[in-house]
Amino acid sequence: MEIEPGIEELIEDLTSGDSARVTAAVERLAAHGENALPRLLEAVCADQSPQRLEAYGEVLSRIGAPAFDAVLAAASAGQLDGWLRARLLRVFDERCAGRYAALALDPDRWLSNVGYEGLLRLRVDSEAGLRALVEKAARGGDFYGEPGKYLHAMWDAYAPRLRDLCQDPASSRPERRGALGLLIEGGGLDALDARDRMLVERLVRVKLPGGVRAVPDTQLSAWWLAVPGDTYEGVFEALGLHDPRPVPVPTGVAAAMCEEIPNPSPDDPSRGTSRAFVTPELDGWRLVFGQFPQLVGYDDWNDMVETVERVSAACGKAQLFYVDDAGGADIWFAAEDGLIVRQYAAEGGWDEDDEDDDITGGVRDVCGDLSVDPDLVGVLDTVVRGHGWLAVTAPDMGHGQFPGLLPV
């Protein structure tokens, strides 16, 4: 392509190091618009020093949407590597909000994140940005990383419109489903109106049976408690759990794995609240999953002993299993009526076991003999009774404030 007169000299001025010449060159190159882009992108590829990239980026930003498209086209043609593409796509302003939104819907996850990163940086009240979120939710996409940050950054602006979209008869079913999912993702069940909360609760009741294979596996790291199915109700008071609600296994497991949310009190400004899941009865036992610091504590060994003894006093029997392949920890306790009756620890090369006990070995070796092996639940013919319960770790909280979509 023939280069418009003057562009070559202006590119040279950009790299001169003279601030006055650079500033003037930025203005004049931006005035050339699209005609400056081919030679400018060649210069970008040839010299990627931070100082010059800043000047090139300033020109691209001022040209706006045509430059955005040119960067994507050059990347598709293999002229820009991934790092340079990401670096250049960060320079554009709110005039390109629609293009960032379109990029957010790209099936390439990397490009999609770049799109959400741009929307997050601009924080523009963009109808296209809102639609990108709705479509992502309607397709069942996750909201880790930039998409979730963008939703929460724009929550106050978008929440009322999402509620309107849920109730709009002209909206398609996928749009309404996506809007409903975003409301739960951003604000929990409290973000829904009474009608939609009722629909969600009805769906949960329908899905209560089955799905037991969804219990967490023990690969890499895991911890859980096991209590008898006949006396499991005692675990709620013993662990300080409140507001138990029936939930399907996939829902309960996902909720219990989520991080705590802030819930300060006058006595404890740093207090957080999380959730715990008690499974249906599985071969006569119920398993308890949740956040270790919230349910057990921070002083690992002493808190584990105290917790399993307290739970066994309430339920008659209790076992606590803790395995961490990365840290080299393999620990379990069995307690009855408030006292430890068996224990095993292998941590950092140290083993402690009772040689006279007929049940010996690490967590994965003995959990099935002591109670239930989570890795085999639903694989073998597990006898399932009842349904699971999801509870919270604070009495004044309820379930509605926890954000995030959960499987049902």
pLDDT tens readout for residues 10-58: 888 877 777 888 888 888 888 888 888 888 888 888 877 777 788 888 9
Residues 332 and 368 sit within 8 Å (Cβ to Cβ): no
* pLDDT above 60: residue 389: yes
Please give the average per-residue pLDDT across 389-405, as a whole number: 81
Residues 60 and 92 sit within 8 Å (Cβ to Cβ): yes
Which pLDDT value is given to residue 358? 65
193: tokens are: 């109106």
What is the reported pTM? Answer: 0.64
Please give the average per-residue pLDDT across 136-159, as a whole number: 85
Count the Cβ atoms, other than its own, within 10 Å of residue 38.
16
Res. 140 pLDDT band, cuts 50 70 90: confident
* pLDDT above 90: residue 181: no
Residues 342 and 357 sit within 8 Å (Cβ to Cβ): yes
The 3-state DSSP class for residue 120 equals helix
Task: Return d(Cα 201, Cα 196) in angstroms, integer.
Answer: 9
Query: For residue 332, what are the CA distances in angstroms to 100, 234, 291, 320, 366?
Result: 51, 21, 17, 6, 9
pLDDT tens readout for residues 318-364: 999 998 877 788 999 999 999 999 999 886 444 455 555 566 788 88
* pLDDT above 50: residue 258: yes
Please give the average per-residue pLDDT across 259-280, as a whole number: 84
Q: What single-letter amino acid sits at 36?
A: A
Please give the average per-residue pLDDT across 290-306, as a whole number: 89
* pLDDT above 90: residue 309: yes
Task: Return d(Cα 391, Cα 402) in angstroms, integer.
Answer: 12
388: tokens are: 């699971």
* pLDDT above 60: residue 180: yes
Task: Return d(Cα 172, Cα 30) in angstroms, integer.
Answer: 42
* pLDDT above 50: residue 1: no
Which pLDDT value is given to residue 266? 78
For the purposes of burial, counting CB atoms within 10 Å of the CB of 357, is it exposed (0-12), middle (13-18) or buried (19 or more)? Answer: middle
Which pLDDT value is given to residue 209? 60
* pLDDT above 80: residue 207: no
Task: Return d(Cα 342, Cα 367) in angstroms, integer.
Answer: 12
Which pLDDT value is given to residue 46? 81
